[in-house]
Structure 1
C-alpha cells in the first residue's frame, strides 16, 4: 500500500513523480476495492469467514482500506471473524516490510556501486560508493514496527 511505497521509494532511489503516481494508483484502486470487494467476496468465497478475511487482507493494498473493507463486510453480514482475520493478515504482510526495505536498499546500493566495467566494487563496511550509510535509506518506522511486534 501507501506505506510500502513511501518506505521503498527512498531505498530504490525512486523519482518523486513515480512515487506520486504509485500512491495515486493504490489509493484510487484501493477505494474501488474497499467498496466492491466485501460484496464480491461474500458471493465468490461462499461466505467462508477465514477465506474472506484473508482475501480482503491480501487483495486490498492499503492497510486502512483493507480494514475498512473488512469492517464493511463485518457490519453488512454480521461477521466479526472477517475483520479479525483481515487485520491479522494485513498486519502480518506489513511486517514483511521490515525485511523487504533493507533488502531492496542493499540491492540498490550494490547496483549503484558498480564500476564502469560492470564489476561490483567492495562495500566498505556499510558504506556505498557515495559514502552514504545503507542504514540512512531504512525508514525509522521499520524499527518501530519491529518494536511494536515484539510487544
Structure 2
C-alpha cells in the first residue's frame, strides 16, 4: 500500500498548497480540482512505469479514503445550519436536487444517448455538491473511473463558469431592475444552484459579505442532503430493472451488484458526524484539525481518481456529457431561479 499512498499523498500535498495561491484562491479553484488535474497529468505520463507497485495504494485512496473523507465532511455542517436558512431554504435545495437529477437521468439517456451511470453521476454532481458528490455516488452507482472523471470534468467546467456568470447577472439585474433580488436572496439562489462549495464562496463574495454568508449556509444544507439522496438512490437502483447499462456489461462490474441494495454506510456516518458536530462537544481546535485532515483525505481520493483515468477514455466520451451538463447548467440558472421565486412566494 505504501508506494501508492505516498504518491497520492504527495499529489494531495502539492494541490493543497497550490490552492492557497492568491489567483487560484480568488477564482475558487479548490484543492480537489487541482488534485484531479495533477493526478491525471502524472497518470498519463510517468505513472505507467510504477503502476505495478503503486496500484494497491492508489485503489485504497480512491475507495476507502474517499468514504472516510465523506464521513468526516460532516464536521463542516451542523443541524443548526438548517435552522439558519429555514424551511424555505430546505425546500428550495430539495426541489433543485430532485429536478436537476431527474432531468439528468431523462435527458442523458433518452436525448444524449449516454450510459445510465454517466448520466446519474453528472446529475449528482450538478444537483448537490460537485466533485465530492460524484465521488460519493461512485460506490453506489458502481461506475468506472472514466465515467467518474467525465462527470467531475463537467462540474469543473460549468462550476467555474458559474463563479463569474452569477455575479455578472446579479450586477446586470441591479442595473436594469429586471427582477427583485436582494443580496440575501442572491445568496440562497447561488447556494442552491452552483456546483462546488468553493465556487459558491467565490460567487457570493463577488456580490458582498451578506450574500456570501447566506450562500454558504444554503450550500451547506444542500450538501447535508447528500446522505439521504444516496440512500434513496441506492434503494431505487436495487429495484430498477435496468441495473446495468449495456455499455457497462463489458466493464467487469455488472455482476457485482447481485441484485441487492447497495447500502452507503458512509452516508449514515456523514449524518452521524454532522449530528455530533451539532452538539458542540468537540473542541474547536480538534474540529479544525480534523477538517484539515479531511481535506487531505479527499484530495488523496481525487488524486487516486486522476491517476487511474486515461485521457483517451475521457476523450472517447465525446461532447455528449458536456452537452448534458450545459443543459443542466441552464436549468440551474433559469429553473433554479423559478424554484427560488416560487418556493419563497409559497413559504414566505
| Fold match by TM threshold 0.5 | yes
- Give CA deviations for 1:121-142 in whole Å, capped at 9, x if unaligned: xxxxxxx747897245748545
Q: 1:35 matched to which residue of 2?
A: 164
Q: Is contact 2:140-2:264 (8 Å) kept?
A: no
Q: 2:151 matched to which residue of 1?
A: 22
Q: Is contact 1:105-1:137 (8 Å) kept?
A: no
Q: 2:199 matched to which residue of 1?
A: 65
1:82 to 179, 204, 211: 211
Q: Is contact 1:60-1:66 (8 Å) kept?
A: yes
Unaligned runs of 5+ in 2: 1-129, 174-178, 244-256, 281-348
TM-score (ref. length: structure 2): 0.34
Alignment map for 1:81-120 (pairs within 5 Å): 81-111=210-240
Q: Which has the higher helix share?
A: 2
Where has structure 1 moved over 6 Å in runs of 4 or more?
130-133
- Give CA deviations for 1:20-41 in whole Å, capped at 9, x if unaligned: 0110110111111112211212
Question: Which deviates more from structure 2 when the two are superposed, residues 63-72 or residues 90-99?
Answer: 63-72
Report the Cα distance in structure 2 between the residues aligned to 1:30 and 1:149, rounded to whole angstroms: 29
Q: Is contact 1:2-1:23 (8 Å) kept?
A: yes
TM-score (ref. length: structure 1): 0.71
Q: 1:56 matched to which residue of 2?
A: 190
Q: 2:134 matched to which residue of 1?
A: 5
Shift of the 8–135 alpha-carbon distance from structure 1 to 2, 3 Å rule, reads: closer
Give the CA deviation at 1:146: 4.5
Q: Is contact 1:7-1:139 (8 Å) kept?
A: no
Report the Cα distance in structure 2 between the residues aligned to 1:88 and 1:48, rounded to whole angstroms: 16
Report the Cα distance in structure 2 between the residues aligned to 1:62 and 1:93, rounded to whole angstroms: 11
Report the Cα distance in structure 2 between the residues aligned to 1:6 and 1:90, rounded to whole angstroms: 18
Q: Is contact 2:227-2:267 (8 Å) kept?
A: no
What RMSD, in angstroms, separates the aligned Cα atoms of the two structures? 2.8
Give the CA deviation at 1:107: 2.5
Question: Which deviates more from structure 2 when the two are superposed, residues 65-74 or residues 46-55?
Answer: 46-55
Unaligned runs of 5+ in 1: 75-79, 115-127
